[in-house]
Amino acid sequence: MAKDEIKGKILLTQEQILDKAEELGKQISEDYAGETLVLIGTLKGAVMWMADLMKQISLDTEIDFVSASSYGSGTVSSGNVVIKKDIDIDIENKHVMIIEDIIDTGNTLKYLKDYFLAKHPKSVKICTLLDKPSRRAADVRADYIGFTVDDLFIIGYGLDYDQKYRNLPYISYLDD
């Protein structure tokens, strides 16, 4: 089973991630006190992180999901982003928080942020579990960041390699 192949290369444990969800959830709850917040998770990678984070947010919330893919050469994303599953709820005049798994080049997130801004929300902010700033190409940054990681190919806790490893309850990486 996949879990055995990468034993011993844990970058972040579930406990560390849960602690971070509590910390950021509290911060977000303070920052948006009295407001309603729409949480939009990016499929599929952000699912586990969003589930942890939303439990720590003590605001009125609505949740939705978006699926976007960017077509580029190899493993590097391009600016050519396509929305494969759009949100269903109306975000006009609402505060929106995009929940991401990882920001790499930033191309996907830049597109998504602009896409949601065009729907006239009150605000759009970004909360990401992981940030890989060394590879940033697009002019976009997260407002809430769980952990900054080196330029590694990250797997686990929702993140995949070829659709595998999303179910690992910790963050690991692939050796090349």
Q: Which among 100, 118, 97 has a CA at the least distance from the CA of 39?
A: 97
**144-148/95-103 β-pairing:** unpaired
Contact call for residue 107 and ligand IMP (CB under 6 A): yes
Host H or E run for residue 149: none
Nearer residue to ligand IMP within complex by CB, 52 or 100:
100
Q: Which residues bind Mg ion (CB under 5 A)?
A: 42, 45, 101
Residue 159 in the binding site for ligand IMP (CB under 6 A): yes
Query: Does 41 contact ligand IMP by CB under 6 A?
Result: no
Q: Residue 31 or residue 64: which is nearer to ligand IMP going by CB?
A: 64
Q: Which stretch binds ligand IMP (CB under 6 A): 26-34, 47-55, 87-95, 151-159?
A: 151-159
**How many other C-beta atoms lie within 10 A of the C-beta of residue 134?**
10
Partner that binds at residue 77, options Mg ion, ligand IMP, none, CB closer than 5 to 8 Å by kind? ligand IMP
Catalytic, 104? Answer yes
Answer for which of 25, 106, 146, 156 binds ligand IMP (CB under 6 A) is: 106
Amino acid identity at 50: M
Tell me the residue length of the chain.
176
The answer to the question of residue 100 lying near ligand IMP (CB under 6 A) is: yes
- Give least dist CB 116 to ligand IMP, A: 15
Of 26, 63, 68, nearest to 41 (Cα)? 63
Task: Give residues with Cβ within 8 angstroms of 167, minimum separation 6.
Answer: none
Sign of the alpha-carbon dihedral angle for 26, 32, 35, 39? negative
∠ at Cα 125 (32, 78), nearest 5°? 165
Instruction: Choose the stretch contacting ligand IMP; rule: CB under 6 A; options: 13-21, 27-35, 102-110, 117-125.
Output: 102-110
Q: How far is the CB of 120 from Mg ion (least distance, A)?
A: 24
User: By the criterion CB under 6 A, which residues form the site for ligand IMP?
Assistant: 42, 45, 70, 77, 100-109, 153-154, 159
